[in-house]
Structures are given as C-alpha cells and as structure tokens.
Amino acid sequence: MDTTTHEDLLDRARAWVAQDPDPDTRSELRALLESAEVGDADALDALHDRFATRLAFGTAGLRGELGAGTNRMNRVLVAQAAAGLAAYLAERAGVDAATEDAAEPAPLRDDAPLVVIGYDGRRNSDVFARDSAEIFAGAGLRAVLLPRLLPTPVLAFAVRHLKAAAGVMVTASHNPPNDNGYKVYLGGDDDGSQIVSPADKEIAAHIQRIADAGDIASLPRSLAFETAAEEVVTAYVEATAAVAPAPEGADGMTWVYTAMHGVGWETLSEVVERAGYPAPVVVPEQIQPDGSFPTVAFPNPEEPGALDLSFATADEAGADFVIANDPDADRLAVALPDPTGGWRRLTGNQIGLLLGWRAARLAAQRTGDETRGALACSLVSSPGLKAVADAHGLDFHATLTGFKWISRAPDIVFGFEEALGYLVNPETVRDKDGISAAVAVLGLAAEARREGRTLGDLLAEFDETFGVFASDQVAVRTDDVAAVGTMMAALRAQHPKTLGEVPVTQVDDLLDGVDGLPPGDVLRLWLDDGSRVIVRPSGTEPKLKVYLDVRADSADEAAARLAKLTDGARALLDGLA
C-alpha cells in the first residue's frame, strides 16, 4: 500500500527541482508544484505519478516516459544510473572510483575499465549519452562516446570490438515517441551481452545509493572522455556485409526499405553497398531520424498501419519485397506481395525459421561436422526451430525471453525471438541485429531469385520440409502494471481446463525454473492435440501476452486449429480483464 503523503510528494518535488540540470523538466515540475501547493487535485495526482515510485533498473536497464520525477526518464535519473554503473564497474575491476562526495574527478588509471556509449535519434538521447560519458570519465573510467547517433547493434558490436568492460545504449527501441531508455551491456566473461541477474541487482543497489545521497550536482564530471574513431563503424559495416555477400543475379532485385524515422539507414546503406546488393527504394518520409515519429502512431513495424507508407512505395516501385527496421535498427520486418492483393508482413517466427534454416545449412558447410553449433530461441518463439536443429544435427536451446538470454546459449550460431529479433552473427554482435538480419534476408532473396523463386517459395519449401508451424499472439493491455500481476496470479490459482475446446493436459509454471531455465514469470500450457500456449507479462509495456503455436500437416489444418485456439485465448483474457 502506498503511504506517500501530500507533504512527502511536495518535498520530493522540491528536492528534485533543486538538483535538476535540465531547464525544461525544472520548468515543468515548478508549474506542477505551484498548483499542488495550493491544493490542485490534478497536480497532486501528477506528482504522485511521478514521485510515488521509481523506474526500476533491471535486466532491461531503464525505460520509461520522458519527464521530471523518479518515475520518468530524465537527466537526474540518467546521472544516477551512470554513477551507479561506474561504481559497479570499478568494484568489479577492483579499482578505485570517484564517489559522489569527491571534490575532483578521479584521474584516469591505466587499468581503468572502458565504457562505450551509444545513442539513437530519440529526444534527449544525445544529452543522456553525453551526461553518461562525463560521469564515467569523472569517476575515473575510460569513457568512449560513439561518433554520432547510430543503431543499437553498432554499440553492441563496439563493446566487443573495443574490448570494453561495458556498453550503454540510450534508446527506447520501438516504444512510443515520448519514451527513452538506458540499455546496459557487459564485456569480459559476459562477452558483450546485455546484463542479467545478479548484475542488474548489484548495479541497482549502487544506483539507489547514489539516489539516496540526494544531489547529482555533487557527482564528479569530466570532459576527458573520448569520441570513438570512425574505424569502429567501418569495422561493423565490414563484419556485417560479410554475413551474406551478394551472389550473382542480385542486381535485378527491387526492394523497399524504411528506417521508421530511426537511425538504421546510414549504416544499412553502407552495408548493402559493401555486400554488393542493389540500393533499395526508400520510403522518403521515414528515412531520416526524427524522434517525433510523425508518420506513425506507434514506431513499431509490428503495429497495424506502421508499414502503410512502405506498401504504397512498394506498389509504385513494383518491388519484390519490403524490409523495415525499427527506430534503433535492432529489429527487422519483412513483407511480401500477397497473392490475393496487397502486402503481408511476415511474422517474426516465419523470418526466424527461414534464417535459422539458413544458419543450420551454413553451419554444416563451415564445420564439415553437423553436430557442431546450436540454434536458440526464446521459449515463446516457434518450436519449428527445434525441428530445424534436429534435422541438421545441431543442438537446440529454448531460453527465457530476451536476447540477454538467447545470446548466452552455448555454441550459438543463430538465435531469434518472435518479436522481430534475430542474431545472425554471434561472432561479432551478441544481441539482436536488424541490419545483419536484413543482409541475410537479402542473401536468401537473391539466391532464390537466381533459381527463379521468391522468398514466398522458400516459406512453402520450409513447410514441405519440416511441417507447417503456425503461430499467433493475443494480449490485453491495462493502465496499471499491477493489474498484470493480478491476472497472472489468478491464472496460477486456477489453470484453464480447456482452450479452444481442446483439453489442457499439462501446465508448467516457470517460476519454479522448469527445464533448467532460470525462474521466470511465465505459464506454459500443453494441449491434448500437441498445441502450446504460453502466458507472460510484457517486459516493456503493461500488457499480458499469450503466445499460441500449432503444428500441422497442411496450411489449412494449421489455420483452422490456430483460429480455434486464438478464440479460446481471447475468451481466457476476457475472463481475466
């Protein structure tokens, strides 16, 4: 129960104004304070929303709406996060770091941990990145800021390329326009993957200690950070172009690309040129970075309507296919002409299975031993990837959701998750990468074209080879994050007996750490006909998500069974909401 009082809120807001270096959020908060101090109920509610809780630092780092307060993304919160991360890295490396009460920045030591910082085109990303660089440098760490706004995969690459102790990417990926975030990667034994427990808790404890000290103005800062050489970006471009050099016949392809108002185009265009593919027809309204995302209601290629401009451009160009990145270019969407007219966006599972099949074939060619290497996907992604791994003698790993887990799969040669994320070059990037995935798709399309076929034909061949794997997803969104937990508790208390008229034969509660997986807030249901249903809270939004998977001998059978299962899942959510 929240026991925050009226005076507590006012005191917290006044203390925030006193330390906030951002004139915009200071002004915003002062206006709320003036109204709240005279008893304005709406202003008090707004202060409560901003100060009664704090954005939690976890394995996804920080992510939230921009604005003043502990429950928003802002310069105060970012400064606290940077100082806390600096203290964690210094402690991990066994070196001294300047603390919040230091009179002067710490001198740079030869053994100081290196931190590389990247940022995208969202509002305040560049400001948060520079604040972080100054605080890392002030703490005595070697801080390297990427030379300009760049995709998240370039930052993930740079952590390994520069042998950094850590990396920070300022991005909210495909979240709404007024969000931003702070994603942390670790080098060393973590090999450039995103943080997992217990590192998240240890970093969070340092951040809380900084926050409790009460004034970020006392944090030592230094301008002695470095700007990364262009060589880092060039090295990423070269490594990514090598994922799938263009085969003969690629010149004739016509394809459309959108950056979704994000930062993907500059880097992707260089990769495409170096790999030898024809330049795409771009969606001009969406090709340059614009943090206001003016042409889309929600800058996520999965959302209805997000690709409408791409489809119109593709119709005009007579394109063979459409490729889209999300705003920080770590995700990839692909769309093909629909035989019945218009365009259809492939699901993340369809793309992941094609790329996994490609990776399995390449693994056999590269090693001469089909037992080497592993495919991995999140447990909510299509079980078709296991069928591919089994057919090629590769190991298979199902992980908890997120590339922080997928990237750690032993001997991984490819990994994916159904939310349009693909890891195709684990030797260079241990995270999802929408640019290297785009090059891999271009390679598949060009090879198919050389044989007189299309990407659609490859999908049909997959079904003929492995069976039809059909997937769907339904979700319920709430205005209250706590409501999601309440719904999960209700499901745990009473499991459904049937879904879509099919009996539920087994329920796995992953809070108990099933199948060697770390504990997770996930329920997995197995049905009498072999179908699988997984229920979990969203990691970034107040939503409860249900993932549905069936396997059948024909597309018609799969569609019919999936439709019934989807109806059953909707009925289940309606009963919980």
* CB-based contact 47:13 (threshold 8 Å): yes
Q: How many separate helices (H) and strands (E) can be counted in the chain?
A: 17, 22
Cα distance between residue 332 and residue 433, in whole Å? 8
User: What distance in Å separates the CA atoms of residue 431 and residue 186, rounded to the nearest whole number?
Assistant: 12
d(CA 515, CA 344): 36
Helix (H) or strand (E) holding 504: strand 502-509
H or E stretch including 116? strand 114-119
- Tally the C-alpha atoms within 13 A of residue 111's C-alpha that lie toward its C-beta: 8
Partners of 143 in beta bridges: 115
480: number of Cβ within 10 Å = 9
What is the residue type of 40? D
**Residue owning tokens 């780092």:** 61
- Other residues' Cβ atoms within 10 Å of the Cβ of residue 493: 7
Backbone angles phi, psi at 395, to 5 degrees: -75, 160
**CB of 226 within 8 A of CB of 142?**
yes
SS (H, E, C) 332-399: EEEEEECCCCCEEECCHHHHHHHHHHHHHHHHHHHHCCCCCCEEEEECCCCCHHHHHHHHCCCEEEEE
In the chain the first and final C-alpha atoms are separated, in Å, by 22
**Tokens for 454?**
């299309």
**C-alpha span between 503 and 526 (Å, rounded):** 9
- CA–CA separation, 183 vs 171, rounded Å? 7
173 catalytic per annotation: yes
356: which residues sit within 8 A by CB, 6+ positions away?
A: 375, 377, 385, 388, 389, 414, 416
Q: Please work out, in degrees rounded to the nearest 5, the angle formed at the alpha carbon of residue 377 by the alpha carbons of 300 and 494.
A: 85
- Residues 173, 193, 222, 382: which is the catalytic one? 173
Active-site residue numbers? 173
